[in-house]
């Protein structure tokens, strides 16, 4: 962030709308309840390291209670409601998310560290849009291509990550409820607050008790939920490592599984690309949400003939990024979500240097308190480098070059992951040629990190299986 003559004064979003309790219980059977065997832990603001609230790491008995509540609600009310009535509840939830948008955005930025510009303009509006979209499907399931009267699965156990807490909650809960399932959802241990606020939205919406249950906690709580015999469906978004464990534990059971895991997306820039917009797409691809995005464009593949010019433009652009207080409306790069994640980003970045790649960051002052990492790019990266293969999940871009479309394709596909990819070119035929051959669930053409509830999202290979969003997103929650 340069400090030129036009120096933007602080423009902090007001926190007046947000009311964080000193401690929270678990949301089970329509009420906030004290834990049976859970233990308290604290959630902190990653930008200041201040403790925000005390929450519960739910124990096995708590999870059991939540699953039982979800089962009772499934048998007793939710599976008997007409699609039209389920849709009415979901529309109500969607409207409440919109009504409380500002509060949710501030809460998300405080708990997660992401810039308010993103939580306000991306996370919360998309979460509301997701509920609206699936609310519309609830009474039309017979026309979705899964038979005349597709049945729900039962109780869904859902475990979500910390990078888009409310949005991932919406991706999980909206299709599950629309199709007639009930849910037990575990938010990530570092970002429970918007899920707990959502519990209040369920109460406001008069959702029947037990249809949505929220149990906070860390890995142990997640394991208890996933392995609970009363769960019919497991949906997980998170790391490939945990995804593997879940797949193992679910194997041989009746449980249906969808996994949305890691990625190492190639963002491919051809020499005829619109360069200024490609620069924006690269920035949006890897520095959006501090790079805490499973589909982040963390590998930039640029054609050799424009590599120098593109990198000059990219570096000039990175120098204008504003890092700092997530609640400042002009902040582009917020805080890293946790010290553990910061350690991982630092470690892999150091490895990148040791492997011989050249590291560059713009002049960028980091705040003294909190967890921060400057936007960083590595040039001279080759396919054999760890920073070209492993998911860093931070604001770190690895730049590789290529000479021909075939080489670009080969390098892009040469990864155990396959969640997303980007293609930048003015040539339509080349976009189609690449899109047909890229082994990635989403291929963006002349854009990146664009999301819409109507569009299915999911991975190839070790990026997981199953699709979320769109008509396809219904399938994971239907007995088909």
Partner 1 sequence: MSTTASRAGDLADVAASNDTLRRFLHGLPGVDQVGVEARAAGLATRSIKTTAKQFALDLAVRMVDLTTLEGQDTAGKVRALCAKGRRPDPTDPTCPSVAAICVYGDLVPAAVDALRGSDVAVAAVATAFPSGRAPLDLKLADVRAAVDAGADEIDMVIDRGAFLAGRYLDVHDEITATRAACGDAHLKVILETGELATYDNVRRASWLAMLAGADFIKTSTGKVSPAATPPVTLVMLEAVRDFRSQVGRQVGVKAAGGIRSAKDAVRYLVMVNETCGDDWLSPDWFRFGASSLLNDLLMQRQKMLTGRYAGPDYFTLD
User: Could you tell me the smallest distance in angstroms from the CB atom of residue 44 to partner 1?
Assistant: 26
- Cβ nearer to partner 1, comparing 9 with 384: 9
- Quickly list H helices, 162-274: 165-178, 193-204, 219-226, 240-250
Torsion angle of C-alpha atoms 271, 285, 321, 98, degrees rounded to 10: 140
- Does residue 426 touch partner 1 according to CB under 8 A? yes
Q: Which position among 239, 245, 446, 455 is part of the footprint of partner 1 (CB under 8 A)?
A: 446
Q: How far apart are CA 331 and CA 326, in angstroms?
A: 6
Written as six digits, the tokens of 469 are 């969003």
SS3 content of the chain, % helix, strand, coil (to 5): 40, 20, 40
Query: Least distance (Å) from partner 1 to the CB of residue 303?
Result: 11
- Write each residue from 80 to 119 as x if it is in contact with partner 1 (CB under 8 A), else as -, in one continuous string: -------------------------------------x--
Tokens 């038979």 belong to 147
Q: Least distance (Å) from partner 1 to the CB of residue 287? A: 13
Smallest separation, CB 309 to partner 1 (Å): 5
**Phi, psi for 313 (deg, rounded to 5):** -65, -40
Catalytic residue among 108, 189, 260, 391: 260
Whether 364 is catalytic is no
Among 15, 382, 413, 447, binds partner 1 (CB under 8 A): 447
> Which candidate in 202, 294, 295, 364 is catalytic?
294
* Contact of 60 with 26, CB cutoff 8 Å: no
Distance CA 344, CA 333 (A): 18
CB of 35 to partner 1, least distance (A): 41
DSSP string, 73-108: HHHHTGGGS-HHHHHHHHHHHHHHHHHTHHHHHHHH
Among 34, 121, 365, 410, binds partner 1 (CB under 8 A): 121
Q: How far apart are CA 118 and CA 326, in angstroms?
A: 9
Q: Which of residues 273-332 bind partner 1 (CB under 8 A)?
A: 273-278, 280-281, 305-306, 308-309, 312, 320, 329-330
> Which residue stretch of 1-9, 221-229, 404-412, 435-443 sits at the interface with partner 1 (rule: CB under 8 A)?
1-9
Q: Does 73 bind partner 1 (CB under 8 A)?
A: no
Please say if 294 is a catalytic residue: yes
Q: SS3 of 358, please?
A: strand
- For binding to partner 1 (CB under 8 A), which residues are involved? 2, 4-11, 117, 121, 272-278, 280-281, 305-306, 308-309, 312, 320, 329-330, 426, 446-447
Active site residues: 260, 294
């Amino acid at each position: 962030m340069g400090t030129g003559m036009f120096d933007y004064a602080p423009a902090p979003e007001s926190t007046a709308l947000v009311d964080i309790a000193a401690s929270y219980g678990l949301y089970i059977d329509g009420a906030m309840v004290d834990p049976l065997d859970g233990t308290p832990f604290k959630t902190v603001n990653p930008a200041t390291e201040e403790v925000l609230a005390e929450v519960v790491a739910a124990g096995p008995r708590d999870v059991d209670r939540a699953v039982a509540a979800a089962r009772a609600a499934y048998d007793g009310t939710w599976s008997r409601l007409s699609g039209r009535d389920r849709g009415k509840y979901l529309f109500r939830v969607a409207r409440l998310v919109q009504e409380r948008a500002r509060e949710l955005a501030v809460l998300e930025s405080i708990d997660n560290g992401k810039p308010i510009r993103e939580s306000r303009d991306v996370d919360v509006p998309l979460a509301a849009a997701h509920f609206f979209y699936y609310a519309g499907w609830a009474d039309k399931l017979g026309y979705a291509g899964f038979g005349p009267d597709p049945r729900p699965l039962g109780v869904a156990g859902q475990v979500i990550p910390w990078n888009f807490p409310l949005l991932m909650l919406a991706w999980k809960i909206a299709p599950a409820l629309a199709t007639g399932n009930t849910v037990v959802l575990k938010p990530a241990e570092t970002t429970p607050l918007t899920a707990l606020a959502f519990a209040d939205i369920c109460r406001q919406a008069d959702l029947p008790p037990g249809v949505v249950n929220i149990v906070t906690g860390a890995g142990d709580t997640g394991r208890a939920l996933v392995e609970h015999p009363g769960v019919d469906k497991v949906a997980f978004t998170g790391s490939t490592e945990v995804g593997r464990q879940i797949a193992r534990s679910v194997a041989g059971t009746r449980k249906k599984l969808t996994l949305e895991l890691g990625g190492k997306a190639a963002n491919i820039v051809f020499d005829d690309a619109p360069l200024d917009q490609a620069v924006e797409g690269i920035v949006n691809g890897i520095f959006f949400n501090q790079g805490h995005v499973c589909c982040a464009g963390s590998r930039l593949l640029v054609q050799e003939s424009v590599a120098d010019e593109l990198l000059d433009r990219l570096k000039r652009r990175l120098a204008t990024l504003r890092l700092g207080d997530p609640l400042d409306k002009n902040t582009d790069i917020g805080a890293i979500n946790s010290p553990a994640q910061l350690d991982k980003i630092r470690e892999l970045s150091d490895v990148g240097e040791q492997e011989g790649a050249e590291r560059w960051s713009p002049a960028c002052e980091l705040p003294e308190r909190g967890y921060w990492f400057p936007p960083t790019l590595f040039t001279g990266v080759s396919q054999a480098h760890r920073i070209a293969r492993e998911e860093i999940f931070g604001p770190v871009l690895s730049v590789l070059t290529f000479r021909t479309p075939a080489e670009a394709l080969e390098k892009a596909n040469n990864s155990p992951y396959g969640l997303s990819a980007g293609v930048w070119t003015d040539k339509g035929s080349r976009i189609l040629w690449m899109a047909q051959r890229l082994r990635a669930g989403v291929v963006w053409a002349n854009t990146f990190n664009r999301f819409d509830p109507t569009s299915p999202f999911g991975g190839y290979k070790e990026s997981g299986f199953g699709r979320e969003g769109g008509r396809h997103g219904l399938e994971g929650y239907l007995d088909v």
